[in-house]
Amino acid sequence: MNNDIPALDCPAVVNDLAERLGSLSRFLDGINDLMKFSCLGDHELQHYSRKIIALTEGARMTLRREGVALYLFVICSEELLPYKSAYFKFLLWIRHRRPAFPADIGDRIASLLSVLKTNFTIRFGGVDTRAQLGIEELLVPNDAPTPCETVIQTAAHAHAAIALSPQKSYAASDAMLPPDALAKKKQRIHQLSRYVKSPAANTPPPVSRQYLPSNNWEAPRLRRPFVRTKAIRCEVVPENQSSVEDEDWEAPCLQRPFVRTEAICCEVVPDNQSSLDDLFMLD
């Protein structure tokens, strides 16, 4: 294997490395080139840290697209096992050199390393999901269980031992059994169903005598609500009496409107007299 470190300052080298990590046919070759940065110091590694994390995220997308379950508790097929193993080896290297990476990309690094924080092991069909990766560091969970988790595990083991050995007295056990919440819930539902079916559930509760009406009790009278109305006064007048009290009252005379007209003068003339005599009368 060539030990020359890829020149990530050159865009062509970065594109070629990203292309190799984008397909399974050249995936292992790309991961091996990324592992060459392990020989660099912290100062030199910090110079390429952003591009290394970006290429690792691209490798994660490729494995997920090809159906690789990137979890320590999931079994992997023999065909995809080399790619998953190489990817987890590179994640372990990032975790060892994490102080060399800048703090502003800490969230991205934490997202990549979150798959390494599994604290349990699963055996499926006699195959250990951690052991099949071939990485000795992953055989034992990295993070030790917290005191709270230790107490929970101890109580669970004690409860299992008591269940398997019923002849032992419960007083000899230091672990307190968990409450049977499900049985209590069923018992409560059964009690409620019995109450609903009983005659007492369909009978109204008795009323105290202090709330019962006495013998002289009368129903309250409902008052008609006050409604403001407008009064209309009507007066009946006899036929022989005028409705007008003042007999001397006279109706006002309405003046006829002035209309200009043209006067026409007509004179009756006897038959034996001509109407033209006056016109020709001489002095």
Rounded to the nearest 10 degrees, the angle between the axes of helix 49-65 and helix 106-113 is 40
- What pTM was computed for the model? 0.49
Stretches where the chain sits below pLDDT 70 are: 1-3, 124, 140-183, 194-219, 230-283
Only one residue has tokens 């202090």, namely: 210
Q: What is the DSSP letter of 16?
A: H
pLDDT of residue 187: 75
Q: Using an 8 Å Cβ cutoff, are 18 and 58 in contact? A: yes
Q: Which residues of 166-182 are buried (b: 16+ CB within 10 A; e: fewer)?
A: eeeeeeeeebeeeeeee
Structural tokens at position 244:
């007008």
What does the domain layout of the chain look like in residue ranges? 11-138, 145-177
Question: Residue 37 carries which side chain, given as an amino acid letter?
Answer: F
- pLDDT digit string, tens, across residues 182-228: 667 777 777 777 655 656 556 666 656 555 566 666 667 777 777 77
